[in-house]
Amino acid sequence: MSAPADTLTAAPHLDDEEARYREVQRRERWRRRAMPALGIVGLIALWWAVVAIFQVKPFIAPSPWAVLQTLYVKRDVLLANLLPTAGEALGGFLLGNLVAIAVATLFVHNRRLQEIFFPVVVMFNSIPVVAKAPILVLLMGNGVEPKIAIAALVCFFPTLVNSVRGLEAVNPQAMELMRVLSASRREIFFKLRVFSALPFLFSALRIAASMSVIGAVVGEWIGATQGIGAMIIQATYNFDSALLYAAIVMSAALSGSFFLAIVALERAIIRWQPESHMT
Amino acid sequence: MSAVAAAAPRPAGDAPATAAADWAVSCRNLQVRFFTERRAITALQGLSLDVAVGEFLTLLGPSGCGKSTFLRVVADLIQPNSGEIRVFGAQPEAARLQRDIGFVFQDPALLPWRNALQNVELPLQVAVGRARRAKATPRELLELVGLKGSEQAYPHELSGGMRQRVSIARALASDPKILLMDEPFGALDEITRDRLNEELRRVWRELGITVLFVTHSIHEAAYLGQRVLMMAANPGRVRAVVPVTLPAGRTLASRESSEFVALTSELRRLLETC
């Protein structure tokens, strides 16, 4: 490395600097992790303060403590209702995204189809979920099917748009390379387009992960007897605000864990990017 | 004075009526037009040229003179509107299907999800029925371009110069007869560029392959080529064909010779009157 004479004097000094640098880095990492937690704690404290200072009636808005108690006391019924919602959301997520990816693949290979049907899809997407939900319940009955269908519908659109964009966002010179190599469309798809589309697909899947839970909950608003959505409706009619908030916390936890699962999957699959983007 | 200059074919136009098969690339009256919303652009007008097998030809000229377009016509990426072109005596399409063509782009266009070795292996994994295998393995090709030890590195871990080396190795993997290079070193710093120029000449001499090399740099064009095809823009056409009379075993130091200086000043003069 360096001359022996230097090592005696210079090395400890350099090590000091390096150690100081690492220390600063470590503190910076902790700070970045602590800040969001600070935001959440601050918000809960504010909520608590507002409820306490203005003496808000428990049936209007509960205190955080009351919500926490309800979460514990009614954990069995909450979990029993969380499971069907999670199942519907997951089913809708898988169905909606698989269909979206299939349609995107079709669109990329057949421009005519894309020109005809893309505007139709955009039109359908502009109908609000809450308007689509009753139609599907009428069509499919009161079982899990309409809930899965609604969750699938809300996942479908972002994934379709992003997949089409991703499959077409191929480096033009890489495309020319494949043509010089006389690659077939299938080879171009599986060796080039799929990989180029993956980052786009995953940013859509992150959205879809939370959207699927919203879809399932909205589906349960209409005539369902179980599920987080049904609980929300019942708790509202019964002025049981603590249970309402507890149900909301459960659904947020559900979509949060869906989201984190997708992020983990993305990190496991997309290993070629120099810097993984923080979410 | 050098064997290289003597061996270089005569400029197009007064070339004898040899069978097109004797040339690596032979074209007559090539015309390529593009249409934009506002106007029609004549990218190439009346281009006639013969490139000998094993020749190193550099294409020099201002932006929009059709240098890149010409390479793309040779590679069958663009079809000419009129005129004739033969690549090793065949239509460009046939040459492409036979894997006679290797292309190096300005952007290395490596696939970021493949490491260096996997990128070089790509040509052997597509259109497998057509793929010819270079005598050298992908690993040996990486060694040839000076990347021994970086086989497992991903593109984002490599410097710009190293990425372009990988892309050259990739172009060589399917054993092409002609290497088309579209400003491959244009985005690199001068030190890296000089080194890659020297190594490209070494690779060319080792493999005996035909090279068409597009560049904006007068020094690069003069140092690398056996002939320099000077092009002019609007419409894209041939301005002059300048033989390079430098020794075949030239080194970067040859660029200080009076011969080289005289050549580059001539090229510069021609370029200014383009």
Instruction: Kindly state the percentage of chain B with pLDDT values over 90.
Output: 56
- Does B160 have pLDDT greater than 80? yes
Q: Which residue of B has its CA nearest to A192?
A: B111
Residues of B in contact with A171 (CB under 8 A): 107, 109
B96 and A178 within 8 Å at the Cβ level: the answer is no
How large is the ipTM?
0.86
The alpha carbon of residue A57 is apart from the nearest alpha carbon of chain B, in Å, by 58
pLDDT value at residue A10: 53
Beta bridge partners of B28: B84
Beta-bridge partners for B49: B27
Same structural domain, B81 and B138: no
The residue of chain B nearest to residue A195, with distances taken between CA atoms, is: B113
| Inter-chain CB pairs, A–B, below 8 Å | 62
Q: Is residue A275 part of a domain?
A: no
Question: Residues with Cβ < 8 Å from A23, sequence gap 6 or more?
Answer: none
Helices then strands, each counted (H, E), chain A: 11, 0
User: How many domains in chain A?
Assistant: 2
Residue at which a domain ends, from B125, B158, B174: B174
Q: Judge whether A92 and A152 are in contact, CB under 8 Å.
A: yes
Best probe of the B interface among A181, A200, A201, by most B CBs < 10 A, is: A181
Each residue's pLDDT tens digit, A155-201: 999 999 999 999 998 999 999 999 999 999 999 999 999 999 999 99
A276 part of a folded domain:
no
Please identify, among B174, B194, B210, the residue that sits at the C-terminal boundary of a domain: B174
Residue B187 has pLDDT above 90, yes or no: no
Q: Which residues contact B5 (CB under 8 A, 6 or more apart)?
A: B226, B243, B244, B245
**What pLDDT score was predicted for residue B16?**
44
Of B146, B174, B202, which closes a domain? B174
Query: Residue A194: its chain B contacts at CB < 8 A?
Result: none
Q: Are A148 and A93 in contact (CB under 8 A)?
A: no
> Closest partner residue to B127 among A184, A195, A273, by Cβ?
A184
- Amino acid identity of residue B231, one-letter, is M
Question: A180, B101: Cβ pair inside 8 Å?
Answer: yes
CA angle (B38, B43, B45) in 5-degree steps: 125
**Chain A contacts of B106, Cβ < 8 Å?**
173
| A272 contacts B103? CB cut-off 8 A | no
Residues in chain A where the model's pLDDT stays below 70:
1-14, 273-279
Q: Residue B154's beta-bridge partner residues?
A: none
- The model's pLDDT over B84-141, given as tens digits with 9 standing for 90+, comes to 999 999 999 999 998 999 999 999 999 999 999 999 999 999 988 777 777 889 999 9
Strongest mean pLDDT among A129-133, B28-32, B232-236: B28-32
The answer, yes or no, to whether the previous bond of B235 is cis (omega within 30 of 0) is yes
Question: Are A82 and A205 part of one and the same domain?
Answer: yes
Cross-chain residue pair B96–A182, CB shorter than 8 Å: yes
pLDDT of residue B250: 83
- Is B92 a domain residue? yes
A51 and A102 share one domain: no
Same structural domain for residues A68 and A50? no
Residue B11 pLDDT class (50, 70, 90 cuts): very low
Neighbours of A184 (CB within 10 A): 11
Count of all residues that appear for chain A in the document: 279
When divided into structural domains, chain B yields a total of 2
Q: Considering only CB atoms, which residues of chain A are within 8 Å of chain B?
A: 171, 173-174, 176-184, 187, 191-192, 195, 271-274
Q: Do residues B86 and B12 share a domain?
A: yes
Q: Are B265 and B246 within one domain?
A: yes
According to the model, what pLDDT value does residue A87 have? 96
Going through chain B in order, the beta strands assigned E by DSSP cover 23-35, 40-52, 56-60, 82-87, 101-104, 178-182, 210-215, 227-232, 237-243
- Helices and strands per DSSP (H, E), number in chain B: 9, 9
**A74 plus A37 within the same structural domain:** no
Alpha-carbon distance A87 to B33, whole Å? 58
- Residue B272: what pLDDT? 84
Closest chain B residue to the Cα of A190, Cα to Cα: B126
Q: Which domain holds residue A24?
A: 1-55
B105 domain residue, yes or no: no
Q: Which domain holds residue B132?
A: 110-174
> What per-residue confidence (pLDDT) applies to A276?
38
Of A187, A271, A272, the CB nearest to B126: A187
> With an 8 Å Cβ cutoff, are A177 and B96 in contact?
no
Tokens of A65: 């403590």
Q: What confidence score (pLDDT) does residue B76 get?
A: 94
Which residues from A are below 8 Å from B176, CB to CB?
Answer: none
- Quote the pLDDT of residue A203: 93
Q: What is the distance in angstroms between the Cα of A176 and the nearest Cα belonging to chain B?
A: 7
pLDDT band at B1 (very low <50, low <70, confident <90, very high): very low
Q: In A110-188, which ranges are continuous DSSP H helix?
A: 111-125, 129-140, 145-168, 172-180, 185-188
Are A28 and A106 part of one and the same domain? no
What percent of chain B clears pLDDT 70, i.e. is strictly above it?
92
